[in-house]
Homo-oligomer: A and B are copies of this chain.
Amino acid sequence: MLSERRLEVLRAIVQDYVGTEEPVGSKALTERHRLGVSPATVRNDMAALEDEGFIAQPHTSAGRIPTDKGYRLFVDKLAGVKPLSTPERRAIQNFLDGAVDLDDVVGRTVRLLAQLTRQVAVVQYPSLTRSTVRHVELLPLAAARVMLVLITDTGRVEQRMVDCPSPVSEESLADLRARLNSRVVGRRFADVPQLVQDLPESFEQEDRGTVTTVLATLLETLVEETEERLMIGGTANLTRFGHDFPLTIRPVLEALEEQVVLLKLLGEAKDSGMTVRIGHENAHEGLNSTSVVAVGYGSGDEAVAKLGVVGPTRMDYPGTMGAVRAVARYVGQILAES
C-alpha cells in the first residue's frame, strides 16, 4: 500500500502537470509544494509510484507525468469536486434562463459548458423513451396524407409524414386523435406500444387500415429516435490540446463527428452520479488520450439524458466535474419549469 506521503506526491504531480503541461521533476515539486522532505526522498517516492504504474517518464532524464492509472487514483481518492463560484453560478442561470425552446436550451447548454470548462461539450437531447407523452397530434394535409406530431413533457417535438392506404375523413381523424391521446398522454414513451396495441380493433372496418398505418409510424418513430440526438460544441478548444496536434486532434474530431460513438460514450456513463472515463478506459480508440466526464440530467429525480465534456486526460478534474455537475442541475431545473 502507498504511504500517505506518496499519495501526496502523486497529487502534487497531477496538479503541477495539469498546470504546466510539462513533466515535473523532484526538485520543482519540493519547491512548489511544502512536502517537508528533500528532493532525494521525493525521488524515491516517485520511483515507487512508477513501479506501481501511477506515473511514467516520457524518456530517461525527464520528469514524470501521471498515467491513466495515476489520474484514476487522483480522481477516486485524492480530489474532490470543486464547487463553482457564486458569479459562475449566476452566469449559468442568466445564460440558461433566456432559452425559448428545447433546441435553444440544448444549444445554450452546450455553449455554456464549453466555455466554462474550456473543453469540448456534449449534450444529449432528452430521450424519448424516458420522457412522457404530452400530446399526439394528427394533421390532415391531403385526403390520404397525415402528419403525425409527437410532443414530450421535456418539450421535444418529432414529426412524421404518414401516407394512409385510403382517404380519411376529418371526423375519423379527430376520433383517432382523441382516443389516442386519452390512452397515452402522461404515460412514458416506453409504454406506448402496449397501450395502443388493441386500438385498431375498436375502429370501423373502413378506417382500420389508416389507424394501423398511423400507429405503425408512431411506433417506428419511437424506435428510430431511441438512437438519440445530441449537440456538441467547443471543438475549437481542442487546439489547446498539445503541441503535437495533427495526430492527437484528428481522431478526436473524427470520433466527435460520429454521433453513434458519442452516444455510446454517454450511454456507458452511470445513470446517476458522475462518471469519469480516463484515457484508455474509453472503448473508442480515437479517444484513448482523452477523458470524458459525464452526468445524467433530468427534470425530476430521474435522468432523461446525459451531458458531459471531452478533454485531454491532462485536465483539471475537480473544476471540470464541478462545472458539469452544476450545469446539469440548472438544465434540469429549466426543463422542469417548461
Residue positions of A touching B, CB distance < 8 A: 100-101, 103, 134-135, 137, 139, 141, 147, 149, 151, 155, 157-161, 224, 229, 233-236, 238-239, 243, 245-246, 249-250, 253-254, 256-257, 338
Contacts and interface: CB of A to CB of B under 8 A. Distances in A.
B250 A246 contact: no
A88 to B, nearest CB: 21
Q: Pick the 6 closest A-B CB pairs, nearest first.
A: A236-B253, A239-B250, A245-B245, A236-B254, A157-B159, A135-B139
Nearest to A234: B257
A98 to B, nearest CB: 11
Nearest to A229: B103
B224 A236 contact: no
A139 B151 contact: yes
Number of copies: 2
B246 A233 contact: no
Contacts of A254: 236
A118 to B, nearest CB: 13
B160 A157 contact: no
Contacts of A234: 257
Contact of A100 (B100, B224, B256): B224
24 contacts: A100-B160, A101-B158, A101-B159, A101-B160, A101-B161, A103-B229, A134-B147, A135-B141, A135-B147, A149-B151, A149-B157, A233-B257, A234-B257, A235-B257, A236-B256, A236-B257, A238-B253, A239-B246, A239-B250, A239-B253, A243-B246, A245-B245, A245-B246, A245-B249
Given A161-B338, A236-B250, A239-B245, 20 more contacts: A100-B160, A100-B224, A101-B159, A101-B161, A134-B147, A137-B139, A139-B151, A151-B159, A155-B159, A155-B161, A157-B159, A235-B235, A235-B253, A235-B256, A235-B257, A238-B253, A239-B249, A239-B253, A243-B246, A249-B249
Contacts of A257: 233-236
Contacts of A249: 239, 245, 249
Nearest to A221: B100
Contacts of A137: 137, 139, 149
Nearest to A239: B250
Nearest to A224: B100
A265 B101 CA distance: 25
Contacts of A103: 229
